[in-house]
Amino acid sequence: MESAKNKLRKLIPQKILYLYYLHTARKACDYDLQRRVHDKVYNDSEAEKVKRDLTLAYHIVEKGLTMPVPRPGFGKPVVLNLINTVLKFQKLNLPLDEMEFRQSVSVLKEYKDFHEQISFQLDKEVVEKLGYLEDLFERIEGLKQIKVSRDEYFSDINKPFDLFCRSRYSVRNYTSQEIPLPVLYDCIELAQKSPSFCNRQPNRVHIVKSAEKKTQILEIQNGNRGFGHLAETLLVISSVISTTKDIHERNENHLNGGLFIMTLLNALHFNRIGACSLNWSVSNDKDMKLREILNIPKNEVLLMIVSCGYVPDVFSIASSPRKSAREITTEHL
Ligand SMILES: Cc1cc2nc3c(=O)[nH]c(=O)nc-3n(C[C@H](O)[C@H](O)[C@H](O)COP(=O)(O)O)c2cc1C
């Protein structure tokens, strides 16, 4: 028996229904959007913003240092910007033991050392500023980038969960060795064990091995320079909109996707495959372009790309240190 609600729905012209849902969706989304815009304009928590800027910049430099082939003199504008942000942090009298600050200073020292080791003459301005900074923060140490062999990197994959979990890093260096499809399906099968809202399992995976398609995709993604071209496989993760019931579930595609992707990353690691998340925070036209390349329907939200490949004998990984549990936790006892 068809419900009364469904019968009524059929009597209303689709255009009216569309406008009605659009209106309720806009009202719900406005709540999110207004808080975002408010934060952008009125939040003058200088400390949070300066820490964000430090992280964005030091991360680019740590990535540059760990590229398969680091480019001598890379990232001059980012390095200068990072130096200025470090000095701004100090000027604001913020605590110098904050993780973001320590790591920024440490990465800048590593940048200087790296160029000294390969006898590459950096720009005069950069050398002077790096020297000044090194003297000023002589005792500040962060985590150095890591060089590992393949066996060292995967040595904890069969160990207890805590060791396994700590052993995964984003890997940005791959060989051309083919990852067999059955291995990828095993990883996706494990990722499927991730929880999902009412077990609705909204996630979808698009396996991309075609060289032409990989190039087209990586061209419009903004975080894979220097290593993306080595990826043997790209996994494009999406999520089906029609698994959500109403607008209040609008974040579920991303939320469920995040849980799924984390298990997928662990599954790849468990299978001795190097992987790196690639953001899909893009403009509408890029989003449409990716749909076109892979023929992905409108009702899938594109969430993220994962670049994958077997790893070389020896490679470098960005240390990407974490804040402690205490720093990010509030107790309500
Ligand atoms: C949503 C998301 C987007 C990311 N996008 C990129 C990216 O575009 N390029 C990249 O090299 N790394 C990217 N990463 C990887 C992060 O830089 C990395 O996870 C972080 O620095 C922590 O390091 P770890 O994965 O080695 O623990 C992304 C990670 C996440 C979760």
pLDDT in tens, 238-286: 999 999 999 999 999 999 999 999 999 999 999 999 999 999 999 999 9
The alpha carbon of 59 and the centre of ligand 1 are apart by a number of angstroms equal to: 9
pLDDT at res. 1: 61
Residue 2 pLDDT greater than 80, yes or no: no
Q: How far is CA 4 from CA 1, 8, 21, 131, 245, in A?
A: 9, 6, 19, 76, 18
pLDDT 10s digits, 158-217? 999 999 999 999 999 999 999 999 999 999 999 999 999 999 999 999 999 999 999 999
Relative to the CA of 59, which ligand 1 atom is closest? 21
Q: What average pLDDT does the segment 33-53 reach?
A: 89
- Residue 170 alpha carbon to ligand 1 centre in Å: 7
Confidence of residue 332 (pLDDT cuts 50, 70, 90): very high
Residue 171 Cα to ligand 1 midpoint, Å, equals: 10
Ligand 1 close to Cβ of residue 228 (< 6 A) = no
| C-alpha 144 – ligand 1 centre gap (Å) | 17
Q: Among 170, 218, 305, 319, which is best to mutate for testing ligand 1, by the most ligand atoms less than 8 A from CB?
A: 170
Minimal CA–CA distance to 140: which of 106, 95, 111? Answer: 106
pLDDT at 153 over 70: yes
Task: Scan for tokens 């942090």, then name that residue.
Answer: 89
| b/e per residue 267-304 (b: at least 16 CB within 10 A) | bbbbbebbbbbbebeeeeebbebbeebbebeeebbbbb
Mean pLDDT of the chain: 95
**Is the C-beta atom of 277 inside 6 A of ligand 1?**
yes
Say if residue 44's pLDDT is above 80: no
Q: If you take atom 30 of ligand 1, which residue's CA is the nearest one? A: 277
Whether this model's pTM surpasses 0.75: yes
CB of 276 closer than 6 angstroms to any ligand 1 atom: yes
* Predicted local confidence at residue 301, as pLDDT: 98
**pLDDT tens for residues 229-246?**
999 999 999 999 999 999
Q: What is the DSSP letter of 143?
A: P
Query: Tens digits of per-residue pLDDT, 94-111?
Result: 999 999 999 999 999 999
Going from the Cα of 279 to the center of ligand 1, the distance in angstroms, rounded, reads 7
Least reliable range by pLDDT among 27-41, 197-211, 240-254, 317-331:
27-41
Q: Is 304 in the pocket of ligand 1 (CB under 6 A)?
A: yes
Ligand 1 neighbour 60 (Cβ under 6 A): no
Degrees, nearest 5: CA angle 260-291-276: 40
Centre a 10 Å sphere on the Cβ of residue 40 and count the other Cβ atoms it contains.
8
